[in-house]
Structure formats: structure tokens, C-alpha cells
Amino acid sequence: MDLLSIITMGPPIFLLFMIYRADRVEKEPTGLLIKLFVLGMLSCLPAAFIESFLISALDVIMPDSTLLYIAIVNFLIVGMAEEGVKYVVLKTQTWKHKAFDYRFDGIVYAAVVSLGFAFFENMFYVFGDESAFFIAGMRAVTSIPGHCTFGIMMGYYYGQAKYAEKHGNMQECRQYLKMAYLIPLLLHGFYDFILSTDYEILFFVFIIYVIWLDLRAYRKVKDSAKFDTPVQEQNPYDQNPYGQNPNPYGQNPYGQNPYGQNQNPYGQNPYGQNQYRQNPNEQNQYNQNPYGQNPNGQYPNNQYQNGQYQNGQYQNGQNQDPRYRG
């Protein structure tokens, strides 16, 4: 591989590796990333057709020497077409993909599509041109990082839209999807607009703008990767770390006594049977003398036993009192 090929193809591959490396939580499927990169390359073809057709139509309407013409071309034609085809590839290939489960994934997907686009566009501009090395060198530090930056901005809002959708906020989801397209379009349009004018002062504006854009994108990637969250947070009660049963001891402590069937950990109720479970009137407490005999049937001091009065009264039917003997 010669030096020109390295300068042309090296920057997009390097940036692609850096974006992939920044994904800390969960790496995206390699097959999906390759597919997005290839489709990003192929999206250059419809973008070139749209641009050529619309610019030809605009040339009929107004002269190409006015600032309005330059603004329309760079914002409403080039920016709209190029960011539009990238967005279509991104949305159709990743929005419902099962691997899209973290917000940072949106940045990865959009950056891969944009770098695929930049890779193909770079080869188109560099190879066959007399100033190939100069063009390749300039695009390596301007256009290639620019496309990557536009993709990062698109992916940031794209990930926010997915997060809003999973949380049922469809209005916010639609707003973020619009921003995922419009903000890269404006950034791209302003980038090309500055380069298309002949004012020397705007060259310094362009340098400041590119530095700001790169720093902004770098901060977005760093912060989004550091504070990355799932697009749909799991309920901590939906999945128990101990298994299916939420009780780590195997059973619900409120559903079954951990000591067995008997609720008393000592085996039996220490109070015996429930004092209210039997009718206290089933056996009259007065029917049985605590001393062994019925107090109503016998008297401990003056008792009738076998028809005898024991206190000198009647025994065996005879009067024992001498006063009554006759």
C-alpha cells in the first residue's frame, strides 16, 4: 500500500477504531458495523445524484455568484442530501435492532455510517487528481473529522430518541429524531458554506469552527460513554439475583413458617390448647370440688354420709343424742 492510500483511507479507519474503542459497556456486533460502513459508502451514490439534480435545477432559477445561492446549495442541497441519506441508512438498519440497547450505541452506529460515507467520498476526490497528496492531507484533518463529527451529533440525539421511546415519551422521541437530522444538516451546511465563499476572513472563522466542532464532538463521546445507560432500564424486582424466588432462603418467609408447619419454634404451643377453643361451660367448675368431692353433695365438717349425720346427729338411722333416746 502506497503513501497516498494510507493518507486517504487511514483517517476514517483510525476514527472508526477510536469510536469502537470508546464503547465501554457493550461492544456492538461486528457484522452490523460492517453492514453500516458498507451502506454508508454506497449512500454516496444517491446523495451525488440528488445534489447534481437539484443544483442543475437551481442554476436555472438564479445565478451562482450570490450568497443566497451558496447558502441554498450548501444547506438545502448538499447538507440535506448527504445527512439525509446517512440518516435513512441509520434509521432503517438500527432503530429496531435488538443490539440497540444503550444510548451510546446511537453514536457508534451514526459515526460508522458517516465514516463509511467519508471513506468513499475521500477516494472519489483524491484518486485521479493531480494534487492528490495535498487534497488527501487537507481532507484528513478537515473533511474526514467533519463527517465523523456530524455523525457523532446525529448519533447522540438518535440515542436520546431511542431512550425516550422506550420510556413511552413519544413526543420527546420525535423531537430528538428531528434534532438527529437537523443539527448535523446545519453543522454540515455551515461547514461547506464557509469553504465556498471567497472572503479571506472566513478562513479564520473556519479554523475556529473546526476546532470547536472537534472539541465538542470529543466531549460528547467522552461524556456519553462515561455516563452511558440502557435505553430501557430494568426493574430491579423483575430479575432477582438469587434466582426465581425473591427470597434468598428458598421460600417466602411470609408464606410458610421457616421453622416448619408449627408456628411455634419450640414445637408445641406452650399454653396447650386454646383456652377459648372449648366451652368453659362444658364442665361446670362448681361441679367438681377442688378437694375431690362436690361441695353441694357433702360438707367437709357437717356431712351426710350414707344417711348418717356425723356430728352426733343421725348415724345408721338412730338418734345418738342422749336427750332423744327415751
Burial call 52-74: b when 16+ CB within 10 Å, e when fewer: eebbeeeeeeeeeeeeebbbbbb
The answer to whether 49 and 159 are in contact (CB under 8 A) is: no
In a domain, 304, yes or no: no
In a domain, 265, yes or no: no
| Parent domain of 193 | 3-226
State the residue for C-alpha cell 457484522.
31
CA atoms of 114 and 163, how far apart (whole Å): 22
In a domain, 130, yes or no: yes
Instruction: Give the dihedral of Cα atoms 47, 48, 54, 55; nearest 10 deg.
Output: 140
CA atoms of 206 and 191, how far apart (whole Å): 7
Residue 227 buriedness (CB in 10 A; 0-12 / 13-18 / 19+): exposed
179: cell is: 434534532
Q: How many domains does the chain have?
A: 1
169: cell is: 415519551
In a domain, 217, yes or no: yes
Instruction: Give the dihedral of Cα atoms 154, 24, 6, 30; nearest 10 deg.
Output: -80
CA atoms of 163 and 153, how far apart (whole Å): 16
In a domain, 309, yes or no: no
In a domain, 245, yes or no: no
In a domain, 93, yes or no: yes
The answer to whether 90 and 84 are in contact (CB under 8 A) is: no
- What is the model's pLDDT at position 131? 83
Q: Would you give per-residue pLDDT tens digits along the chain (326 residues)?
A: 688 888 889 999 999 999 999 998 899 999 999 999 999 999 999 999 999 999 999 999 998 889 999 999 999 999 999 999 999 999 999 999 999 999 999 999 999 999 999 999 999 888 877 788 888 899 999 999 999 999 999 999 999 999 999 999 999 999 999 999 999 999 999 999 999 988 888 889 999 999 999 999 999 999 999 999 999 876 555 454 454 444 545 555 455 555 545 555 555 555 555 555 455 455 555 555 555 555 454 444 444 444 444 444 444 444 444 444 44
- What is the model's pLDDT at position 243? 47
State the residue for C-alpha cell 467519508.
118
In a domain, 75, yes or no: yes
Instruction: Give the dihedral of Cα atoms 180, 186, 188, 194; nearest 10 deg.
Output: -170
